[in-house]
Amino acid sequence: MTKYNGMRWVAGLHEFADLISNVLRLATTRPAVISDIAGRFSLDEAVDACRLLESHAPGKVLVLPNG
């Protein structure tokens, strides 16, 4: 989940695959680009994840597949 508005900097959805690839490459070579994690939630807890995201908690809010 993200509040990122990437459409400001890309021409269309087709560019997101390259962006994601670049971010993952950076994350493996420069771990400092990854921010802290504010919370981890299962898919069943997505509503709680949204609430945390809207609270402007510092860090990423992760929603993970039910496991």
Each residue's pLDDT, cut to its tens digit, for the chain (67 residues) gives 455 555 666 777 777 788 778 877 877 777 666 678 899 999 999 999 999 989 988 888 888 887 4
The CA distance from 59 to 52, in Å, is 10
Q: Which of 27, 35, 28 is nearest to 60 (CA)?
A: 35
Q: How many angstroms separate the CA atoms of 40 and 59, rounded?
A: 11
**What integer pLDDT is reported at residue 2 of this predicted model?**
52
> What is the reported pTM?
0.51
